[in-house]
Structure 1
């Protein structure tokens, strides 16, 4: 005879299995599977999951919300894949869509996780974090007194976001600190201005792309037009500054590169799904004049900024100057789910036109130029700099023998943050001035050649 309690447990377990199956497979295209496969290890794993969930629901010291358990399980699944796949609650998913438009309330920090520790990839220019002196490579030890060890990125972002004018205290550990230091920051509306520009000298322009957002391409067109109008002639050369640019929208990176590449591939992606295999090529139509370009990169240049640098480098359309870039060569697809939550899933790797994967390696500059600063005692030690290859569960490049360079071994933590807004202090920016010297030398050689 079956007891009523046993019957209820079986009914509950059946409901949980159905729920878990829906959660796991929603939004993901189905694959042909044999009956034996369906009843094999996958089924056993799901059964194990539902058994654990049933035990928690029945025996945990306090009553637990089922949705909270499901969300936690999904977070755990995605965290085991790679550093860039994540689950977004409805609130977080809504914030993500706001982020791509370039305005949100918070501090202005790009963060990642390594070994359970929150680490700053780069502060966004002209934000509370940037002005307070938060630096790339900083370990965020606490947020408002709460330890961040094993805190997921979504929770950390939620704690740092908030209404304009409210304060948050970040406890930062940095190379050279004896103990964590508290930084009190006042939240602001983060208006990430994607493109900034100015004229360096007569005919030589400077364009800074801070992040690839929905309007980056439009803003770039306006910037280039304004520079040409100011010069009252075609530009003699351009410095395209992608330092500390953490990336953003793939389509915007393609459009930016398209202005300077006359024909051929810009980037292509490869993944398991058919839809993940894509090629992006230069479009026909008007292009920027064939003036010389120097692209500046550093350890804070990632993802979309590496796509642009790699494309122009492969097409020999620009000289890449600076230090090794971050090395994020994967593509994340945003998949909306039924309850208005979202899935950020790594679905492909991208490759430069010549077939290079920069995953966990980065773009190697044609000319290595370190950021010039007076050396500090702490700079002689291995710094807290972080790149894609340092992240837990990162994808391998496929050619690890080429993964190390001279610049990889140096501590370039000091070159990841500009001392002030770069367009306001370019004359004191060593890398920008070296880029300008190269462009001017290029112009001189061209004139010498034409006079013969």
Structure 2
């Protein structure tokens, strides 16, 4: 009897638990349905308002306007409420985007982005017209051929800078430290980007420069590393991977470049609002280039894919990162083709390094901070600036002739001794800066560190023997 009651009690308890589980599930499901219904109702209500405005404009506006202009304008306004990397690409702009990824296009050779609402140079690509003209990372593009850029989105700005080879475009540029903007007139050219460059330095130290990431980067990198390895009789003793002023490119290429030097663990992960955007990429054990120390060079022009590579190699302890803080572009854009042939570049997730760090806005902090110019070079430039500011001009001299009347001498307040002739101007400071940078202080420091590593290794082997 007692046993029967116990079994009956257990059945009752089990039934009650089952009812509670189903009830909880039903409540959660109802909540989700109500939430979805609320979103759907809101979308429906505001869509009705949009259609009402569209219809009213088409029927009563003072001039006839085609539907495409109105709809594209509305889409542009809608996406402007989001982040600067989310944009609608009309068919011709969408084609530009596809051409960029292939590694050959016509234009100036700069990667641009929005920073604090300003059209900003992320990085000029090496050996392109923009790079040769002297544009720099963080330059603000205020006008394109005299047209203010404040109301342009990224793709409109890119499209305006594109054009036939041999034609010119004038960019009005602001730069930190300048008192007023300056114009750069640049002749467009066909931009054929050699993504990877290489050189074998002394002591069998390899130097590889990745100027940008495109669909050929991983193959070019492998060729470069294989060639350097063949040229070093006893194998590479160290490698400098230079991704300074590299504006980035396709995510898959960043993963493949990092994978070339890693044999295990996470390379990068993404997290978004949708679970389908939560992804993780891992290194593969086969084919990794290892057995030598590495230094990765970065600066403020290293963005996006460059930051993924630097972050992965830094977090996994495969390389020391040297230079200055990177750009901080850590968001993922998905490119979608729309029915009319236009495109939607939509931010869908954020990048995270293997340790879980977000790249967005913060960028990658180098392990060893080294400025572009050495302390002596910075001191020399500062001396030039002071010299320039103190240099006398004719109008500063007492009793100088006025331009409007050279027959009349400006009266002097009191007799003064003759002023010495001003010294010839010192070399232009921007030209001097170019000369200093051609010496590449950061690269010299990186190579010195790798040489030191080799020396320490030799000393340790002697002690062990």
- TM band (smaller chain): 0.7 to 0.9
Q: Which residue of 2 aligns with 1:268?
A: 269
Computing the radius of gyration from Cα coordinates, the structure with the larger value is 2
SS at match of 2:71: helix
Change (3 A) 1:101 1:170: same
- 1:131-183, Cα deviation, whole Å (9 max, x unpaired): 11112222222211222222111111111101101111112222343433221
Q: Is the 8 A contact 1:104 1:190 kept in 2?
A: yes
Q: Which runs of 5+ in 2 are unaligned?
A: 1-31, 386-428
**1:32-431 maps to which residues of 2 (within 5 A)?**
36-37=37-38, 40-372=41-373, 373-374=377-378, 376=381, 419=434, 425=438, 428-431=439-442
Which of 435, 444, 457 in structure 2 is aligned with 1:433?
444
Q: Is the 8 A contact 1:125 1:421 kept in 2?
A: no
Instruction: Quote how far apart the aligned CAs of 1:59 are.
Output: 3.1
Structure-1-length-normalised TM-score: 0.80
RMSD (Å) for aligned C-alpha atoms: 2.4
Distance in 1, Cα, partners of 2:255 & 2:200: 25
Q: CA deviation at 1:442?
A: 0.8
**CA separation of 1:55 and 1:117: change in aligned 2, threshold 3 A:** farther
Deviations 1:401-435 (A, max 9, x none): xxxxxxxxxxxxx9xxx94898xx5xx10000000
CA distance in 1, matches of 2:168, 2:383: 30
- Corresponding pairs, count: 382
Report the CA distance shift for 1:421/1:306 in structure 2 as closer, same or farther (over 3 A): farther
Taking the aligned partners of 2:245 and 2:49, their CA distance within structure 1 comes to: 44
| Cα contact 1:126–1:421 (8 A) shared by 2 | no
| Deviation readout 1:79-100 (Å, 9 max, x if unpaired) | 2111211111111111111100
Contact 2:122 2:327 (C-alpha < 8 Å) held by counterparts: no
Task: Tell me the SS of whatever aligns to 1:332.
Answer: strand
Residues 115 and 204 (structure 1), Cα distance of their counterparts in 2 relative to 1, 3 Å cut: closer
Query: 2:325 touches 2:364 (CA, 8 Å); kept in 1?
Result: yes
**Greater displacement, 43-52 / 125-134:** 43-52
In the aligned structure 1, how far is the partner of 2:178 from the partner of 2:454?
Answer: 46
**What CA distance in whole angstroms lies between the structure 1 residues aligned with 2:436 and 2:336?**
35
Q: Secondary structure at the match of 1:100?
A: helix
1:350 aligns to what SS in structure 2?
strand
For residue 374 of structure 1, report the CA deviation from its aligned partner.
2.8
C-alpha contact 1:140 1:172 (8 A) present in aligned 2: yes
Report the counterpart of residue 443 of structure 1 in structure 2. Answer: 454
Describe the shift of the 1:314–1:39 C-alpha distance in structure 2 as closer, same or farther (beyond 3 A): closer
How far the C-alpha of 1:232 sits from its partner, in A, is 2.5
Secondary structure of the 2:102 match is coil
* Distance in 1 between residues matched to 2:168 and 2:218, nearest whole Å: 34
Aligned-partner Cα distance in 1 for 2:299–2:84: 20
CA distance in 2 between partners of 1:156 and 1:197 (Å)? 33
Structure with greater contact order relative to length (CA < 8 Å, sep ≥ 6): 1
Deviations, residues 186-214 of structure 1 (Å, cap 9, x unaligned): 10001121111111213101111111110
1:163/1:188 contact within 8 Å kept: yes
**8 Å Cα contact 2:203/2:451 also seen in 1:** no
Supply the distance in 1 between the matched residues of 2:442 and 2:261 (Cα, whole angstroms).
22
